[in-house]
Amino acid sequence: MSRPDSPRALASAWYVGRVGHTRHAPVPHRFDYSMMMGLFDLDELGLLDRSVRGFGVNRRSAVGFRTADHGPADGSPLRPWAADRLADAGLDPAGADGPIRLLCMPRTLGYGFDPITVWFLHDEGGRPSALIHEVRNTFGHRHSYVAPVDDPGRPLWRQRVEKTMHVSPFFDRDGWYDFTVRPPTADAGSTTSVRIDYSNGDGPQLTASFVGERRPFTTAGMLGAAAHSPAVAQKAIVGIHVEALKLWRKRLRYRSVPRPPDRPVTAGSGSGTPGCPVSTDRPSTLHQNRIPEGLPR
């Protein structure tokens, strides 16, 4: 079986780290657990499918990527969908002419559930143009938050969007999200992170984050990541319901599920939205965009 000539030359990679959630209000609640995610370059999917044993694209495999899990959700090509989302957000669709890389949880043992996929879009010259934060809830709804990358040279990219889709039944659908993203690099062992601060008129409500260390997209790299966080998709959906039960036992008010927004896209800002106060909570160690201590290497 053929293998990539040089895994280091691939944009695609595995990321091994931790996911954490901290609820600040109305009742404090915190958890974190190990997590593996994949960075999938759309132009490399065919090579990965052929060369990484145990990994498959749009077919049965131990660990895999399925096109129909993302974007239009019907298995059609993802690049035109990304360009359309940019246009819907008032951005130049040419921002999707270059590399497109998705940071998301892979399918494991045939099952897939991914609360958020972050799309890293580039123009034809390879310059980062925008991020699409494709969010899903457990009620079968999905929504895309699209915001430009105003200063791609910064180590952390900051974006803000209005919250328009219902996610947790223990929060209302008001407020806004602040995204802080450390973009992936090709350096071995480098860190990528995604932090989401949810706030409303009452102040900070929730901080969620993923911090992961880059591993090569090889069979060995995949097995190491899977050993660190086995059956990751199954773990995610079970964990969501276990934590929901804990919140219910803390007597948090349950909100009924509203209709999803009429428009599938909410446009955001690369530098914050006037009139929305910035979250002032002090992040815990888990949410500081670095690998937590004790992570296997």
Say how many domains are in the chain.
1
Q: What ranges make up the beta strands (E) of 74-202?
A: 100-104, 107-108, 116-122, 128-136, 142-148, 157-162, 176-182, 191-200
Written as six digits, the tokens of 62 are 């131990």
| End-to-end Cα spacing for the chain | 27
Residue 5 to residue 2: CA distance in whole angstroms: 9
Minimal CA–CA distance to 60: which of 4, 7, 126, 108?
Answer: 108
228 backbone dihedrals φ, ψ, rounded to 5°: -70, -35
Instruction: Give a yes or no: residue 118 inside a domain.
Output: yes
Instruction: Give a yes or no: residue 295 inside a domain.
Output: no
Residue 149 to residue 48: CA distance in whole angstroms: 28
Instruction: Give a yes or no: residue 62 inside a domain.
Output: yes
242 backbone dihedrals φ, ψ, rounded to 5°: -65, -45
Contact residues for 38 (Cβ-Cβ < 8 A; gap 6+): 12, 13, 14, 15, 65, 102, 103, 104, 105, 106, 217
* Cβ-based burial of 276 (10 A; exposed 0-12, middle 13-18, buried ≥19): middle
Instruction: Give a yes or no: residue 215 inside a domain.
Output: yes
Instruction: Give a yes or no: residue 294 inside a domain.
Output: no
- By the 8 A CB rule, do 235 and 33 touch? yes
So what's the pLDDT on residue 287?
A: 58
Instruction: Give a yes or no: residue 130 inside a domain.
Output: yes
Give the β-pairing of 265-267 and 142-148.
Answer: parallel
So what's the pLDDT on residue 272?
A: 52
10 backbone dihedrals φ, ψ, rounded to 5°: -75, 140
So what's the pLDDT on residue 37?
A: 98
So what's the pLDDT on residue 275?
A: 36
Q: What is the pTM of this model?
A: 0.88
Cα angle, residue 224 at apex, residues 218 and 228 outer, rounded to 5°: 145
So what's the pLDDT on residue 274?
A: 35
So what's the pLDDT on residue 118?
A: 99
Contact residues for 174 (Cβ-Cβ < 8 A; gap 6+): 163, 200, 201
For 217, the domain range is 10-270
Residue 134 to residue 85: CA distance in whole angstroms: 11
Instruction: Give a yes or no: residue 280 inside a domain.
Output: no
285 backbone dihedrals φ, ψ, rounded to 5°: -55, -40
Written as six digits, the tokens of 82 are 């990304």
Residue 143 to residue 289: CA distance in whole angstroms: 25
Instruction: Give a yes or no: residue 220 inside a domain.
Output: yes
Mean pLDDT in each 10-residue stretch from start to end of the chain (297 residues)?
Answer: 55 98 93 96 98 97 97 97 98 98 97 95 98 95 97 97 91 94 96 98 96 98 95 88 86 84 94 43 46 38
So what's the pLDDT on residue 254?
A: 82
